Structure 1
Amino acid sequence: MGLLGSADIAVRRVLPAVARTPDIELVAVAGRNMATARRTADRFGGSPVEGYERLIASPDVDAVYLPLPNALHAPWTLRALEAGKHVLVEKPMTTREDLTADAVRSARRRGLVLRENLMFVHHGQHARVRELVEDGAIGELRQLSATFAFPARPAGDIRHRPELGGGALLDAGVYPLGAAQLFLGTGLEVAGAALRHGPTGVDVEGSALLRRADGVCAHLAFGMDHSYTARYELWGTRGRITVHRAFTPPADHRPEIALEQDGRTLAVEHPAQDQYAAAVAAFVAAVRGSGTREDGLASAVDRARLVDDVRTAAGRPAQNRRRAPGP
């Protein structure tokens, strides 16, 4: 694997997971600042490389991990795919539906693995929640609510820069959107949305109402100027399930699955799990042929559509947007 840029998420979460995962090795770290690339390579292995193009062209690199600012995901994902490299790209895959669909078509055309690194879906606690719902633990599902928000970052943070694809919707909102897809399926309709924008022009918080064809709704909230919150709740005819620390739990965190029935709350136990390592392992399996190469691609395109539709419903449609004809 080759790394494009030494982003915080790469250094804190993903590269340590790569180091713990069999059958994958970091062999190159590309950067525009060679001192930073060298520090990352010294810590995690591989050779520092000046410039992203040189790394992508290297015959020693089979796959590329791409944690660049959001606006750079689409062009560098496409360049890596065109060079015959598998790609693990941080969420969101791109900033718009049409760009995401273009990347998916490129990967399929070349028989390459493309994964959006929305890591929480790899944690087993969500499969346990789905089992509870399917077993009728809360009766018929009527509503879902999900929230992900975190405290404000410094003024110079890339999340505050519109030209780099900043904003709460792309950085935090994709988690509640992903939770809605996980439990309600794809093809949800955006029934309403609101976004509040900060002084730099990016959205700093928002909310959305999604609706499934049968009338089941999802109430979503997200932000980057809040106390930390990462939870979802499934509400049915007989009870509800609540999960705290749902999206970014530490590897040693024991999930908090609360099942409420008939006025009583039961704690459903689930072991701690490293979702970062699970996400890397799933990518490795897909590249090596023991996993599913299509896994998550349709959901990624559908999630990008929801992002576009939330913007439109909030009165801020994406510029130069074209509706994708489908992946």
Structure 2
Amino acid sequence: MNAKPLKIGVIGCAGIAERRMLPALVADPDVEVTAIASRDGAKARQFTQRFGGDPVAGYDRLLERSDVDAVYVPLPPLLHAEWIERALRAGKHVLSEKPLAANGKDAAELVALAEDRNLTLLESFMFLTHSQHAYVCEQVVQGVIGELRTLTAEFAFPAKSADDMRYNPDTGGGALTDIGVYPIRTALMYLGSDIEVIGSWLHVDAARQVDVGGAALLGAPDGVTAHLTFGMEHAYRSQYALWGSSGRISVRWAYTPPPTHSAVIRIERQSHVEEVTLPPEDQFANVVRAFIARVRCGVPSGLEGESLLIQADLVDRVRARALIRPAR
């Protein structure tokens, strides 16, 4: 029996929605985009002309619609919690861009609300759905690099235009909230959830009052360490590496590979270097499939529940331990 398409409304006309998520949504045969909302009616019309659905002026009006089963929320980070809560209280399943909320307390309240109302709440941490990471995890478990000793993870890109939301402390939240979460989640993936924040550093733009870069040193109970670097004042870099007792394995384009990219995994050992090329895949399409499977069948994906709260707590602890220095 073929299920009816999941009717999804979009709250906000962000660039990530236009470039990646909306194309993935409309390409999926199990999804129907029924409405796209913006505070600017003209912008909503522009998006619906390309992706379909009805243009809606105002987020509240979209939540009132009976032809919306679920919503996708690509708003600036510090607006997520408010509109996720409103959507859940309106009886809608929610797929939100990351981070779910600005802090662990707010994230926990949202997860509890979704569970109480038997609704799906997923964070679109798309890189977690890419098969290259499952491949690396399998190699580590099989002992290809021996016992894991340390992890390095780096995600950063050059400065954006002055009006970019990441520079607005009232909506964007800065580099740690929007960018640092990628290497932080990578550390959780390989070191486990019982991680100590040994130290952290944030570069703060004094004029804008937001962090534009930073680093953190984490440690697991077994002595494995993680050195994380992130920011929006660097040349582009998106990779991580695991260094073990007998080898090293690295992912060259870890966080934002385009759907046409064939992932290359480099494995280095004492007398042998190997590069494994994996087939291309669209991690945004993977998120859409994970969301549908969760809504319809309750299939876990790692994008929901306890994993979100562990991540949010670690971000809070990195921020709390940070030495603050003005950015140059």
- Answer yes or no: same fold by TM over 0.5: yes
Match of 1:298 among 300, 303, 306: 306
- Is the counterpart of residue 277 in structure 1 residue 290 in structure 2? no
C-alpha contact (below 8 Å) 2:290/2:301 kept by paired residues: no
Q: Which one of the candidate residues 310, 317, 323 is aligned to 1:309?
A: 317
Q: Which residue of 2 aligns with 1:84?
A: 91
Deviates more, 1:292-301 or 1:165-174: 292-301
Does 2:92 correspond to 1:47? Answer: no
Q: TM-score, normalised by structure 2?
A: 0.94
Q: Note the residue ranges of structure 1 that are not aligned, 5 or more in a row.
A: 317-327
Deviates more, 1:209-218 or 1:239-248: 209-218
Amino acid at match of 1:243: V
Amino acid at match of 2:226: A
Task: Specify which of 221, 228, 233 is matched with residue 225 of structure 1.
Answer: 233
Counterpart residue identity of residue 56, structure 2: V
| Deviation digits for residues 247-305 of structure 1 (CA, Å, limit 9, x no counterpart) | 00010111120000114321022111110100111101111116227753211111111
Query: 1:115, 1:296 within 8 Å by CA — same for their partners in 2?
Result: yes
With over 3 angstroms needed to count, the CA separation of the structure-2 counterparts of 1:295 and 1:205, relative to structure 1, is: closer
Tell me, in whole angstroms, the C-alpha distance in 2 between the residues paired with 1:99 and 1:125. 31
Q: Give me the whole-angstrom Cα distance separating, in 1, the residues matched to 2:99 and 2:303.
A: 16
Q: Which residue of 2 aligns with 1:116?
A: 123
Aligned to 1:178: 185
Task: Please say if residues 7 and 68 of structure 1, whose CA atoms lie closer than 8 Å, have aligned partners that are also in contact.
Answer: yes
The 2-side partners of 1:303 and 1:85 are apart by 24
Deviation digits for residues 122-174 of structure 1, max 9, x if unmatched?
Answer: 00000000111111100011111100001111111111010113311011101
Report the counterpart of residue 223 of structure 2 in structure 1.
215
Q: Say yes or no: does 1:240 pair with 2:248.
A: yes
1:260 is aligned to 268
Q: Secondary structure at 1:25's aligned position in 2? A: strand
* CA-to-aligned-CA distance 1:173-214 (integer Å, 9 cap, x gap): 010011111111213111100000012010000000111111
8 Å Cα contact 1:113-1:293 kept in structure 2: no
Q: Which runs of 5+ in 2 are unaligned?
A: 1-7
SS in 2 for 1:302: helix
**Cα distance in 1, alignment partners of residues 303 and 204 from structure 2:** 34
Name the amino acid aligned to 2:38: G
Secondary structure at the aligned position of 1:292 is classed as coil
Q: Which residue of 2 aligns with 1:319?
A: none
CA–CA distance in structure 2, aligned partners of residues 28 and 196 of structure 1: 40
Q: Counterparts of 1:8-157 in structure 2 under 5 Å?
A: 8-157=15-164
Q: C-alpha separation between the residues in 2 aligned to 1:294 and 1:225?
A: 30
Report the secondary structure of 2:83's partner residue: helix
CA distance in 2, matches of 1:291, 1:20: 21
Instruction: Tell me how many residue pairs correspond in the alignment.
Output: 316
Shift of 1:315: 4.5
The CA RMSD over aligned residues, in Å, is: 1.2
Q: Give the fraction of aligned pairs with identical amino acids, expressed as a percent.
A: 49
User: Aligned partners of 1:210, 1:7: CA distance in 2, in Å?
Assistant: 33
2:88 counterpart SS class: helix
Distance 1:107 1:99 in 2: 13
Q: Give the counterpart letter for 1:55 in structure 2.
A: L
Q: TM-score, normalised by structure 1?
A: 0.94
Whole-Å separation in 1 of the counterparts to 2:195 and 2:47:
41
Structure 1 CA distance, aligned partners of 2:302 and 2:117?
13
The question of 1:5 aligning with 2:12 is answered yes
For the residues of structure 1 that align with 2:275 and 2:42, how far apart are their CA atoms?
48
Counterpart contact for 1:287–1:293, Cα < 8 Å: no
For the Cα contact (< 8 Å) 1:190–1:208, is it kept in 2?
A: yes
Distance in 1 (CA, whole Å) between partners of 2:299 and 2:29 is 15
Alignment partners' CA distance in 2, 1:59 and 1:169: 37
Shift of 1:36: 0.3
Distance 2:28 2:56 in 1: 23
The correspondence for 2:194, drawn from 187, 202, 214, is 187
